[in-house]
Structure 1
Amino acid sequence: MRAIRLFLCGDVMTGRGIDQILPTPGNPRLHESVVHSAVEYVELAERRNGAIARPVSPVYIWGDALSELERRHPDVRIVNLETAITTCDDAWPGKGIHYRMHPANVTCLGAAGVDCAALANNHVLDWGRAGLEETVATLQAAGIAVAGAGRNEQEAALPAALAGPDGSRVLVFAFAMASAGTPSSWEATSRRPGVALLHDCSAASLGRLRDRIGAQRRGGDVVVVSIHWGPNWGYEVEPERRRFARALIDQAGVDVVHGHSSHHPIAVELHAGRPILYGCGDFINDYEGIGGYEAYRPDLALMVFVALDSAGGAAELRLVPLMRKRFRLGYAPPADLDWLQEVLSREGRAFGTHAARSDVHELRVWAD
């Protein structure tokens, strides 16, 4: 059997300003302390980089990412969808930011061929439990599998089972942690919808995940664990996160640890030949006109392509840096690609990894 090829990325935030430029913008009303209409985020971006002709087509926001997806043709495409897809107006009380996209705009996810949306994060219940249920139903009706959230604890815990080549499967388990701002009250229970919450990185938590994975896994399956964890800014990876990620591979047989929450890419590790993405960074967002944190280059996004050898060999890990401009992804200019390569190599030293240019738009990561 040939290698299984995966595409992964970090936070896809198609709500708020992004929703307002798509064909069917939803109610723009916000409950933020300063900004009260999602349209203002579009205007901020336009003041920064120029006018956005509205409405845009569903393919617009993906830009050059579509060319890379077409060229590489991954078997499975996985994103962390950090947006409610709903018309509900039940904004979660006490929460400063609420993301939502009109259900008719789910076509923008189909335009990129998204196979699986990880929903265990700190924005999927921004518009209440009814909003979450509409999100799940809308995605499933669009043929997009979900992981990490559901109508009850049992549904939230189930993996998305995606078809791979030659009869193989890719199982995607998704979890959120409080360290990424996920409220404990969002946890799914037997009586209420919510997300699959990972309470800590303890041995007990690892054991529960190992048992959950073992109950679903069949021979030949590839297992991805998608975790929303850690702060939005900064490169530090706490020792407990590193130990837990490695143990997922060593003890639970996980093939890819897909971490997200950081607004910029952070360290990548290859442990026992399997990739640990501690933070993929934002992929699509409406932050273009917002100042602050420029040192982290939050305007850069990262496509992650993983090829997993069915015979158990080391994974091949290739990255394509992109830049957001006018709410559209384009190839990162050479100087920006080089900057990201230096950052990933610098941060990777502690993890024994190195990044280097391998093509005009590509970085390859390998273990030293």
Structure 2
Amino acid sequence: MLGRGIDQIQLRSCDPRIFESHVSSAQDYVTLAERASDAIPRGVGPRHVWGDLLADLDTRDVDLRLVNLETSITSGGTPDPLKGIHYRMHPANVAQLRAAGIDAATLANNHVLDWGRNGLAETLDTLAAAGIARAGAGRDAAEAFTPLSLGLPGGGRFLVLALALGDSGVPASWAARPDRPGVARPEPEDVPDWLSTRLATLRRVGDIVALSIHWGDNWGYAIPPTHRAIAAAAVGAGVDLVFGHSSHHLRAVEVIDGHLVMYGAGDLVNDYEGIGGHREFCPDLVLGYVADIRRDNGRLVALEMLPYRLRRFRLERTDREAVDWLARRMDREAGRFGGRVAQTPEATLRLEWAEDAAHDPA
């Protein structure tokens, strides 16, 4: 979530005026964060917000980097009157994505049209000019539902299908139509058949397929039965990785038939630092996920989770107490679905699971 307060500390930023019920300037989010932590520098470079994450990724053999980009990229546009919160970042700040080596961004979420369809058009154009692939939104339904495709080292493709469900706060009016821009927002009951039909003709030998899906509410650990059923159907249809997101904190991970399902990746970056409430979820503690997936069958080899604290709008490595908390919480949630999360000697987290564990979508 690189918009709003995060945008305001960059070299270039949007007009800070926003249209929320209690806040009228995006600068107020910077002030709140400074009250909670310490002074935040202004005019920062594009690497600033990523902090320690970049060095940690550089020490790992990572082929591709994927994010859910939950903001519009526009200096103009018109705030959507159906939304009480409007995220945007200046087009110049797409340099942040490039600085992090982001290969692709998914856009099927509840903030990409915050500044209207003109804002969406500028978002699409800006990502294209920056050479960043995207999926999940487009100028019509055909474009919105088209998967992104990235070449893998040694051959094969990494394919990403991106969808958003209405229960994540995506207005029905945002759904892309044959003659209308918008996001890929199907009805939940239509997702399994759509995936089966699409993958039957799309997938080739050597491909790895991911489903990025924006679903569910912002807070809490409950996983709706509908989400578990969609995850199981996706794996059954040929999806290797379910990248779920929407909650502002971490939720459970599960391995279904050898394939990784993330029910709520949590926010990696946001401007919520000075906002009170929901402390029991420790939303300032976040994870970056490094998934090692087999090329021949798409099954999960390993999942390493890199822990950070989001402080002063920058990702910082955490202390041992924070790592302990993250390990306990993630272990508790993974344990509901037959998995375990343990600490590594390097103070990261790793997922453990039984290869033959049965999946019960109930």
TM-score (norm 2): 0.96
- Of the candidates 255, 262, 275, which is equivalent to residue 240 of structure 2? 255
One-letter code of the match for 1:221? D
Deviation string 1:115-171 (CA, Å, 9 cap, x unpaired) is: 111000000000000100100110110010011000100001111101111012100
Which residue does the alignment assign to 2:252?
A: 267
- Of the candidates 302, 310, 323, which is equivalent to residue 324 of structure 1? 310
Q: CA separation of 1:212/1:311 partners in 2, compared to 1, >3 Å: closer, same or farther?
A: closer
Contact conserved, 1:86 with 1:134, CA < 8 A, in 2?
yes
In 2, the alpha carbon distance for the partners of 1:314 and 1:16 equals 36
Which residue does the alignment assign to 2:194?
A: 208
Measured after TM superposition, the shift of residue 89 of structure 1 is 3.6
Matched residue SS, 1:76: coil
In 2, the alpha carbon distance for the partners of 1:289 and 1:336 equals 19
Unaligned residue ranges in structure 1 (runs of 5+): 1-12
Which residue does the alignment assign to 2:172?
A: 184
Alignment of 1:42-53 (within 5 A): 42-53=30-41
Which residue does the alignment assign to 2:20?
A: 32
Alignment of 1:77-226 (within 5 A): 77-200=65-188, 202=189, 204-226=190-212
Measured after TM superposition, the shift of residue 214 of structure 1 is 2.5
Contact conserved, 2:252 with 2:330, CA < 8 A, in 1?
yes
Measured after TM superposition, the shift of residue 234 of structure 1 is 0.3
In 1, the alpha carbon distance for the partners of 2:285 and 2:201 equals 38
Contact conserved, 2:207 with 2:295, CA < 8 A, in 1?
no
Q: CA separation of 1:314/1:100 partners in 2, compared to 1, >3 Å: closer, same or farther?
A: closer
Measured after TM superposition, the shift of residue 179 of structure 1 is 0.7
Deviation string 1:220-247 (CA, Å, 9 cap, x unpaired) is: 1100000000110000001221121012
- Of the candidates 21, 43, 49, which is equivalent to residue 9 of structure 2? 21
Measured after TM superposition, the shift of residue 74 of structure 1 is 1.1
Contact conserved, 1:274 with 1:315, CA < 8 A, in 2?
no
Which residue does the alignment assign to 1:10?
A: none
Contact conserved, 1:80 with 1:117, CA < 8 A, in 2?
yes
Contact conserved, 2:291 with 2:300, CA < 8 A, in 1?
no
Which residue does the alignment assign to 1:298?
A: 283
In 1, the alpha carbon distance for the partners of 2:37 and 2:191 equals 45
Matched residue SS, 1:230: coil
Matched residue SS, 1:109: helix
In 2, the alpha carbon distance for the partners of 1:91 and 1:76 equals 33
Determine whether 1:281 maps to 2:266.
yes
One-letter code of the match for 1:275? L
Matched residue SS, 1:284: coil
Deviation string 1:169-215 (CA, Å, 9 cap, x unpaired) is: 10011000111000011011111110001311x3x430112112223
Matched residue SS, 2:124: helix
In 2, the alpha carbon distance for the partners of 1:58 and 1:341 equals 30
Contact conserved, 2:73 with 2:88, CA < 8 A, in 1?
yes
In 2, the alpha carbon distance for the partners of 1:338 and 1:144 equals 35
**What RMSD, in angstroms, separates the aligned Cα atoms of the two structures?**
1.0
One-letter code of the match for 2:74? T
Which residue does the alignment assign to 1:342?
A: 328
Contact conserved, 1:30 with 1:37, CA < 8 A, in 2?
yes
In 1, the alpha carbon distance for the partners of 2:351 and 2:177 equals 40
TM-score (norm 1): 0.94
Measured after TM superposition, the shift of residue 216 of structure 1 is 2.1
One-letter code of the match for 1:17? G
Residue identity over aligned pairs, in percent, reads 50
One-letter code of the match for 1:342? R
In 1, the alpha carbon distance for the partners of 2:153 and 2:201 equals 22
Unaligned residue ranges in structure 2 (runs of 5+): 355-362
